[in-house]
């Protein structure tokens, strides 16, 4: 929705860049070499957060335990942290765009470092 209101090519490209980074992070599979099955970043976050950090969901805990049979707890946590960090960086980039938007100012601005670089 925000990108449709971007008049200039560079802001629209930056928003596309953020969306691509988000999709890459959430769909990334960095564990299949160890577990023998594809596990998306979004699933990994879901399992950890719902099994241990917020809800103590037994089903999610069992799914996470099934994954952790193949990898160490440290590697499992490292994968969670890197996925969350990548997702947070993308959300931070979107925040930089949205924080300046208001009813009085609908101009979309992007961080200075971005000059149409591809991810």
Question: In angstroms, rounded to a whole number, what is the distance separating the alpha carbons of residues 84 and 86?
Answer: 5
Q: Write down the pTM of the prediction.
A: 0.75
Q: Provide the token pair at 59.
A: 């089903």
pLDDT score, position 82:
94
With a cut of 70, list the residues of the chain below it in pLDDT. 1-9, 113-119
pLDDT score, position 59:
94
Question: In angstroms, rounded to a whole number, what is the distance separating the alpha carbons of residues 62 and 88?
Answer: 26
pLDDT score, position 118:
47
Q: Is the dihedral of CA 37, 40, 46, 49 positive or negative?
A: positive
Name the residue ranges covered by the structural domains of the chain: 3-98
pLDDT score, position 119:
42
pLDDT score, position 53:
87
Q: Which residue has the tokens 């961080």?
A: 111
pLDDT score, position 58:
94
């Amino acid at each position: 929705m925000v990108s449709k209101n971007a008049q200039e090519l560079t802001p629209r490209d930056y928003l596309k860049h953020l969306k691509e980074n988000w999709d890459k992070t959430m769909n990334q599979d960095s564990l299949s070499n160890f577990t023998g099955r594809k596990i998306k970043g979004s699933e990994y976050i879901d399992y950890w957060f719902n099994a241990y950090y917020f809800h103590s969901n037994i089903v999610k805990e069992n799914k996470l335990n099934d994954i952790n049979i193949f990898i160490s707890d440290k590697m499992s946590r490292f994968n969670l942290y890197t996925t969350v960090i990548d997702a947070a960086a993308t959300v931070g980039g979107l925040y930089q765009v949205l924080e300046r938007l208001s009813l009085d100012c609908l101009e979309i601005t992007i961080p200075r470092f971005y000059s149409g670089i591809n991810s």
